[in-house]
Amino acid sequence: MSISTKFVSTLATAGLALTIGAFSAVSASAGPTLDAIQQRGFIKVGVGGSSPGFSFPDASGKWQGFFVDFGRALAVTVFNNPDKVEFTSSSPQQRLPALQAGEFDILLSGVTQTITRAFKLGFHFGPVIFYDGQGILVNKSLGVAKAVELDGATIGAQSGTTGELNIADFFRKTGKAYKPVVIEDSNEFQKAIESGRVDALTQDASDLAIIRTQLAKPDDYVVLPERLSKEPLVPAVRGGDDRWLEIVDWTVYATIQAEEFGITQKNVDEFLTSEDPAIKRFLGVDTSLGEAIGLDPKFAYNIIKAVGNYGEIFDRSIGPSTKVGFQRGYNDLWTRGGLIYSPPFR
Amino acid sequence: MIAHRRLSRPIPLFKAAFGSPGHAAVSLALAGLVAVAVPPLLNWLLFDATWVGTADDCHGRSGACWAFVGAKLQFVLLGLYPQGDAWRAYAVDGLLLALAAASTVPRLWSRGLLAAWIGGLLASIWLLGGGLGLPQITSDKWGGLPVTLLLSFGSFLLSFPLAIALALARRSRMGGLRIYAVAFIEVVRGVPFIAVLYAATLLFPLMLPSGAAIDKFARAAAALSIFVAAYFAEIIRAGLQGVPHGQYEAASALGLTYWQALRLIVLPQALRAVIPSIVNLAIGIFQDTTLVAIIGMFDLLNAARTAASADQAWLGFYAESYVFAALVYFVFCFSASRYSLWLERHLRPA
């Protein structure tokens, strides 16, 4: 062995040792976020200032809404107590820097998952909990149930937005005709559809839901289930705590899987006696799964008991029976043609 | 300027409006504008407005929905503050406004008033936050008018000693001290308030050891105080420069030390001269507090906005909400501005 090869191999060994050292250092201190949560005794959740149905303080100042319920579900997973969570309002301008700065452990505030945010900003994202996107609001008298059935309709879009371009793309693709009406001011939207100047309006679905509540007869209008643009809303966490991210993921999945099983807040106790091995594993009747992953075997049971399954969370805050009145659409279970899907609990 | 206004007699309205063809043209154009803009505005504000009822009643009419403001008044005024403890927030409003009212009377300006302010602010923080017998309410639940008042008055009072120190340092003959003061003032005045606010809420926590956290309200108040202090210092410096040099010399001839001269001779004259500017600054602070909405605090304006988007029964009445908030701000700022004019006349040496 010549000196130079010996030198190189020593160098390589040292490099390897350093690398392993670095890795073990990371795994030893893995979970700074979760450690901090456990030490503190509650989870800090950032939510939007107030978006109707999604997160808003109720009359007594308590936070409610679709995103808020997922925050409570997380508190159940970690502490088995839906109240061990503190919600902090944050504006769209500062929510991501605030997450970075450690103001909260998780951001549940309508963050759209994009590739830039993942690569450049060092955030990790949980599963999509709401598929938002550009929608179409129509007068029910048109008798249209799907956007593809719109033919020759007059459609209002706000000028200078991507909404205007997306709707043009959509009709180019479907090959149907439509008449665009450009509306300058978003306040004019309401008047345009009420006066019949347009048959339909297009905007982000969550905006349309609010415009709809503003109309004199909201029940005469409906937001069609299609989305012309992709706005997948996800929980966001800081990078560097894989265990915390897993807890976020599987807390969301638990609500989804429960709906797939047909388990609701009301009937969850009846399922405890189920003979289905998958349900036994899921609810922690069979404790082997929980032991293997180091969580309370009954964490899914506790979540459903405290906040309900995905469908219940959806319906309670933003579903068709609420003022916001969203159809499930893409946010329906995959078994019913939607995109909401949970990996298996095994 | 005031003397000038006193000397010139007011011009009769008609002559002012139609005295020349140019005047007449402008007057007619403006009258046309008013005729076009005002009736719809009045219709919306008053004649077509819904004063009582539900959201559905409002949707049926084209005017403003003041019933909304009535229904959500507590939320607009208190934000997320727990309803059961609302009296505490109202007590803070009352306490701070009473102190502000007392401060408008020049006869009451004394060391006692300053002590009352310090005591009043501490009592406000205690009333809002609890402890010592009251249930604890964390500052993320504070909101509405108490937050706006506490931030404005608190940061005004906090910035006052800092501003005096900065103004004196800037006029100091000690080179090092002067450079620090100049650097501080110019850097803070050179950046927008939002930047200071961001630094306080986002950068500052990164510098703390992990686990340590300083209350967001305290950070916002500190940011506002620092920001205000820079402007305040410049106003005081102007006042100091207005004090004739003979006053300093007379003071030292009497055997007063630097600090005695400052406290007894110079500062009273300097501050008195700049009181109108200080009131202007106070109005500015009051309005600047609305920017804390950016960092997720529910001051009066943000609470008003949230009121229109939180309750599903009353969604989307933003215009009414903003008009109401604007009215509250206007009442405060207009009173302060009229007061400052009165004070200017009152304090003018006879």
Q: Is residue A156 helix, strand or coil? A: strand
Residue for token digits 């944050």? A90
Positive or negative CA dihedral for A197, A199, A203, A204?
positive
In terms of CA atoms, which chain A residue is nearest residue B142? A61
Residue A186 confidence (pLDDT): 63
Whether pLDDT at A187 is above 90: no
Residue with the larger pLDDT of the pair A303 and A50: A303
- A93 with A33: CB under 8 angstroms? no
Residue with the larger pLDDT of the pair B317 and A129: A129
Subunit contact A58:B316, Cβ cutoff 8 A: no
Whether pLDDT at A324 is above 90: no
Residue A28 confidence (pLDDT): 37
* Type of residue numbered A64: Q
In angstroms, rounded to a whole number, what is the distance separating the alpha carbons of residues B283 and B332? 8
Chain A within 8 Å of B310 (Cβ-Cβ)? yes
Residue B153 confidence (pLDDT): 94
Residue A59 confidence (pLDDT): 73
Chain A within 8 Å of B344 (Cβ-Cβ)? no
Query: Cα distance from A334 to chain B (closest Cα, Å)?
Result: 29
Residue B8 confidence (pLDDT): 62
Give pLDDT tens digits for A240-298: 899 999 999 999 999 999 999 999 999 999 999 999 999 999 999 988 888 888 889 99
Upper half-sphere CA count for residue B186 (Cβ side, 13 Å): 7
Subunit contact A61:B206, Cβ cutoff 8 A: no
- A90 with B296: CB under 8 angstroms? yes
Residue A206 confidence (pLDDT): 78
Whether pLDDT at A84 is above 60: yes
Give pLDDT tens digits for A160-174: 777 788 888 899 988
Residue B96 confidence (pLDDT): 95
Residue for token digits 């966490």? A237
Query: Distance of alpha carbon B330 from its chain centroid, rounded?
Result: 11
A50 neighbourhood in chain B, CB within 8 Å: 305-306, 309-310
Mean pLDDT score across all residues of chain A: 85
A19 confidence band (pLDDT: 50, 70, 90): very low
Residue for token digits 């506490």? B150
In angstroms, rounded to a whole number, what is the distance separating the alpha carbons of residues A41 and A81? 11
Chain A within 8 Å of B136 (Cβ-Cβ)? no
Chain B within 8 Å of A215 (Cβ-Cβ)? yes
Query: Cα distance from A52 to chain B (closest Cα, Å)?
Result: 5
Other CB atoms within a 10 A radius of the CB of residue A91 amount to 16
Subunit contact A214:B205, Cβ cutoff 8 A: no
Q: Which residue of A89, A215, A322 is in closest CB contact with B312?
A: A322
In angstroms, rounded to a whole number, what is the distance separating the alpha carbons of residues B83 and B86? 5
A66 confidence band (pLDDT: 50, 70, 90): very high
Whether pLDDT at A4 is above 60: no
Low-confidence ranges of chain B (pLDDT < 70): 1-8, 209-212, 349-350
Whether pLDDT at A113 is above 90: no
- B153 with B121: CB under 8 angstroms? yes
In terms of CA atoms, which chain A residue is nearest residue B74? A59
A256's enclosing H/E stretch is helix A242-261
Q: What's phi and psi for A301, nearest 5 deg?
A: -55, -45
Residue B311 confidence (pLDDT): 76
Whether pLDDT at A7 is above 90: no
A112's enclosing H/E stretch is strand A106-112
Give pLDDT tens digits for A282-321: 999 988 888 888 889 999 999 999 999 999 999 999 998 8
Residue A49 confidence (pLDDT): 67
Query: Cα distance from B229 to chain A (closest Cα, Å)?
Result: 25
Q: Is residue A55 helix, strand or coil? A: strand
A59 neighbourhood in chain B, CB within 8 Å: 75, 83, 311
